[in-house]
Amino acid sequence: MAYRRNKTSDTWHFCRNCTLWPTTNVVEQSGKPTTGELCNQCRSKDSAGNCNR
Ligand SMILES: [Zn+2]
C-alpha cells in the first residue's frame, strides 16, 4: 500500500479516492509512515470500507 503526502503537509493519505489525495509535490512511500499524521478522511473511508487503494 502506498502512502502519499504533499511536501508542504505532514498528513499522509492512503486512499486514492480521498478528495485531498496529493497529485502535486508528492512524497510517496510504501510502508506505514512513522512521522506525521494519517488523514482523517482516509481513515474514515477505511473504516467504512470504501477506501480505494
Ligand atoms: Zn486522505
List Cβ neighbours of 10 (8 Å cut-off, separation of 6 or more).
35, 36, 37
The parent domain of residue 18 ranges over 3-48
Has residue 39 been placed in a domain?
yes
d(CA 10, CA 49): 24
Domain count, the chain: 1
Ligand 1: distance of its center to the CA of 16 in Å? 8
Express each pLDDT in 26-40 by its tens digit: 999 999 999 999 999
Residues of the chain with pLDDT under 70: none
Report the separation in Å between the CA atom of 35 and the middle of ligand 1, taken as the mean of its atom positions: 15
Looking at residue 40, its pLDDT comes to 98
Domain-located, residue 53: no
CA–centroid distance, residue 27 to ligand 1 (Å) = 14
Domain contains 15? yes
* Confidence at residue 1, expressed as pLDDT on a 0 to 100 scale: 77
